[in-house]
Amino acid sequence: MNPAGQASRIESEDNAADWPNGSVAYPSGRKLVIAVVASLTASLTIFRLELLRRLAGAGHDVIAFAPESDARVEQELKQIGVRFVRIPMARTGLNPLEDLRTLWSLRQHFIRLKPDIVLPYTMKPIIYTGIAARLLGIKERCFLVTGLGHVFSDAAGRSFKTWAIRHLCVRLYRLALRGARVVYVYNEADAEDIRRYRMLQRGLSPTMIPGSGVDLDHFTVSTPPQGGPTFLMIARLLRDKGVVEYVEAARMVRRSFPDAKFQLLGHFDSNPTAISQAEIDGWMREGILDYLGTTRDVRPYLAACNVFVLPSYYREGIPRSILEALATGRPVITTDLPGCRDTVQPGVNGLTVKARDVAALAHAMVSFAQDPELAKRMGKRSRELAEARFDVHMINRMLLAGMHLPH
């Protein structure tokens, strides 16, 4: 790789005509090569399966790129006619050599496969796909910002290190997004940061879509269980997801409602803010928490709860776990922060609380423990909201429209 030559290539492109204005809609029936790039292989089927199915079903050559080998995911992709290519990528961390490997690998694959359209999502795929595609003159670059990244959240702090990393990320985002066909965002906070940091060139604004959507046929309404309320949290085991606050609130609620159950489902993570196995074991010994482990199918666990809880102060896009709870017909308790609050109409299908406010979280839980019918009433409205706003097929039509593909 020749960094000087690449910089010159990008600089010359920056002086070229604005590409969104020069983009043209593809005629119906033309077969395209479409590259979808992810930072987590499992996310291709968890979040993008219906979109990939639709693109491949339209006759396009769809190639999914991600870092891990996952035989089950690769088989699911093969069944819907999507090819899988493994690429080197460190999902977290700032190792420049690892990131250069990612950029180089994408560039080499794009030279060989000649994609007409690239669609990356999450931070590193967006940055390195965007740069690689620009270097090769791929004009149809579409970006799905599911969240700008932890470094842009209040939880990242205000240290000089955070400022420096954020500044670097802004520069990289600008390089990657310049000349984009479309940049999708999930919430207004991310759109505002994109504007504030001038990540897009003049004339292009972020396009808002309501998250990744949920398959309403796959996640069907179920009757909540009888008896003492069962609260369920599904999330990666990170402090920023509000796991500690969930446990502390559960401890408070159980003093008045000893029959209440508090369940946690999710996988351990290598993130610096991760919850340890020892902490989980301690809470289980205390009898406060039932840790359910991990699963590929959350539906039985959602069906077995009365209320879904996500007290996250992580920089969310729109949490998929909440959308699945809405579709199942469960009320939601979550924080009044971007992304999370977009899924709840307070007092209608759930309650929102201030982030890290354990007392407010416990009070919200008590509302459901005191009135078992409240969960049923609000759960019904949750399903209605999912049908009106978060249907995956409706959202996929929005994505295809922005990509100027038949929808």
Q: What integer pLDDT is reported at residue 266 of this predicted model?
A: 96
Say if residue 89's pLDDT is above 80.
Answer: yes
Say if residue 363's pLDDT is above 80.
Answer: yes
Say if residue 228's pLDDT is above 90.
Answer: no
Q: Residue 100: inside a domain, yes or no?
A: yes
Q: Are residues 246 and 145 in the same domain?
A: no
Q: Are residues 304 and 398 in the same domain?
A: no
* β-sheet with 332-335: strand ranges across: 290-291, 261-265, 230-234, 307-310, 332-335, 350-353
Q: Are residues 61 and 129 in the same domain?
A: yes
pTM above 0.85, yes or no: yes
Q: Residue 222: inside a domain, yes or no?
A: no
Per-residue pLDDT reduced to its tens digit, 369-407:
999 899 999 999 999 999 999 999 999 999 999 999 987
**DSSP one-letter string for 14-62:** HTS--HHHH--PPPTT---EEEEE-SSTTHHHHTSHHHHHHHHHTT-EE
Q: What integer pLDDT is reported at residue 319 of this predicted model?
A: 95
Q: Are residues 47 and 148 in the same domain?
A: yes
Q: How many CB atoms lie within 10 A of CB 129?
A: 30
Q: Residue 220: inside a domain, yes or no?
A: no
Which is higher by pLDDT, 381 or 5? 381
Q: How many CB atoms lie within 10 A of CB 304?
A: 15
Say if residue 8's pLDDT is above 50.
Answer: no
Q: Are residues 278 and 348 in the same domain?
A: yes
Q: What integer pLDDT is reported at residue 1 of this predicted model?
A: 40
How far, in Å, are 158, 166, 173, 310, 348 from residue 150 at the CA level? 13, 10, 14, 17, 30
Q: What integer pLDDT is reported at residue 257 of this predicted model?
A: 97
For the ranges 5-14, 189-198, 251-260, which has the lowest average pLDDT?
5-14
Q: Are residues 22 and 36 in the same domain?
A: yes
CATH code where residue 182 lies: 3.40.50.2000
Q: What integer pLDDT is reported at residue 29 of this predicted model?
A: 63
Q: Are residues 149 and 28 in the same domain?
A: yes
* Number of domains observed in the structure of the chain: 2
Say if residue 19's pLDDT is above 70.
Answer: no
Q: Residue 223: inside a domain, yes or no?
A: no
- pLDDT category at 27 given cuts 50, 70, 90 is low
Give the amino acid at 165. Answer: I
Give the amino acid at 12. Answer: S
Q: Are residues 55 and 161 in the same domain?
A: yes
Question: Of the candidates 296, 197, 310, which has an alpha carbon nearest to the alpha carbon of residue 246?
Answer: 310
Q: Are residues 207 and 253 in the same domain?
A: no
Q: Are residues 271 and 307 in the same domain?
A: yes
Q: Are residues 89 and 19 in the same domain?
A: yes
For 343, the domain range is 230-389
Say if residue 44's pLDDT is above 80.
Answer: yes
Q: Are strands 61-66 and 33-37 parallel, antiparallel or unpaired?
A: parallel
Q: Which two tokens stand for residue 108?
A: 């080499």
- Judge whether 361 and 353 are in contact, CB under 8 Å: yes
Q: Are residues 235 and 199 in the same domain?
A: no
Say if residue 214's pLDDT is above 50.
Answer: yes
Q: Residue 54: inside a domain, yes or no?
A: yes
Percent of the chain past pLDDT 90, that is, above it, reads 81
Q: Residue 3: inside a domain, yes or no?
A: no
Q: What integer pLDDT is reported at residue 72 of this predicted model?
A: 96
Q: Residue 365: inside a domain, yes or no?
A: yes
Q: Residue 407: inside a domain, yes or no?
A: no
Mean model confidence pLDDT for the chain: 91
Q: What integer pLDDT is reported at residue 25 of this predicted model?
A: 53
Kindly tell me the number of DSSP H helices and DSSP E strands found in the chain.
16, 13
**Helical axes 358-370 vs 372-389, angle rounded to 10°:** 110
> Which residues make Cβ contacts (< 8 Å) with residue 238, sequence separation at least 6?
269, 271, 273, 274, 275, 314
